[in-house]
């Protein structure tokens, strides 16, 4: 089945670790979303509950009449005490640079009081399993976040954490995959399209 993974448009805070911090889409962000969905047809839309994803997904569902499901598992990574800050600001603190390096290279490392990549991958795996379990509602559009989309690609393609940084997923990027389950029940996918904003 085809699944389009769409990162919400820009909020004007590119470079900030906005996990639970939830600024609204900027006008450019709305434009990015509309260009990525214009003249496209999906039978259902699944969205993160965060407003920067949900607001645009809900508008698209209203305009097209397709089903909309809000799934908390598609929320962005919880950056804990780093949430809303820039990497440069965090790196400037004592020990911050080393912790950031560990965070981006070891899936078990979490931001202080936050969530690890392994935790994120576990909930994205659940979210993808729900989508793959109901293939009659394909194709599907998932409106989510950069970290969640990377976790989805890791789950479907078997990519390791360090490999995830080799693909730029800017706000407004749409990545289409053809996905399913093998005879063993394990998920598989191939990327069929990447559309940068």
Mean pLDDT of 108-119: 96
- H or E element that contains 108: none
* Structure letter (DSSP) for residue 21: -
Residue % of the chain over a pLDDT of 90:
90
- Is the bond into 158 cis (omega within 30 degrees of 0)? no
pLDDT digits (tens, 9 = 90+) for 59-99: 999 999 999 999 999 999 999 999 999 999 999 999 999 99
- Look up the pTM and report it: 0.95
Mean pLDDT of the chain: 95
The sheet carrying 174-181 orders its strands as 67-70, 44-47, 140-144, 2-7, 174-181, 187-195
Q: Please state the domain count of the chain.
A: 1
Q: What pLDDT digit, counting tens, does each position of 171-187 carry?
A: 999 999 999 998 998 99
User: Which uninterrupted H or E stretch holds 195?
Assistant: strand 187-195
For residue 141, how far is the Cα from the chain centroid?
Answer: 12
Task: With cut-offs at 50, 70 and 90, classify the pLDDT of residue 119.
Answer: very high
Instruction: Using the predicted structure, report yes or no on whether residue 189 has a pLDDT greater than 80.
Output: yes
pLDDT 10s digits, 130-159: 999 987 778 999 999 999 999 999 999 999
Domain extent for 66: 2-195
CATH number at residue 136: 3.40.50.1240
pLDDT at 125 over 90: yes
């Amino acid at each position: 089945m085809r699944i389009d993974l769409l990162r919400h448009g820009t909020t004007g805070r590119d470079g900030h670790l906005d996990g639970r911090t939830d600024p609204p889409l900027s006008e450019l962000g709305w434009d990015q979303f509309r260009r990525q969905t214009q003249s496209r047809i999906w039978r259902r839309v699944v969205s993160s509950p965060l407003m920067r994803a949900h607001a645009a997904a809900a508008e698209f569902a209203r305009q097209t009449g397709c089903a909309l499901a809000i799934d908390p598992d598609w929320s962005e990574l919880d950056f804990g005490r780093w949430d809303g800050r820039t990497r440069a600001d965090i790196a400037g603190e004592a020990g911050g640079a080393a912790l950031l390096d560990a965070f981006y290279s070891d899936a078990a490392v979490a931001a202080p009081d936050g969530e690890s990549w392994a935790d994120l991958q576990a909930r994205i795996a659940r979210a993808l399993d729900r989508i793959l379990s109901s293939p009659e509602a394909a194709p599907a559009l998932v409106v989510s976040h950069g970290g969640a989309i990377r976790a989805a690609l890791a789950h479907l393609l078997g990519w390791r954490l360090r490999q995830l940084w080799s693909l730029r997923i800017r706000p407004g990027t749409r990545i289409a995959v053809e996905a399913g389950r093998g005879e063993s029940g394990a998920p598989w996918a191939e990327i069929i399209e990447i559309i940068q904003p």
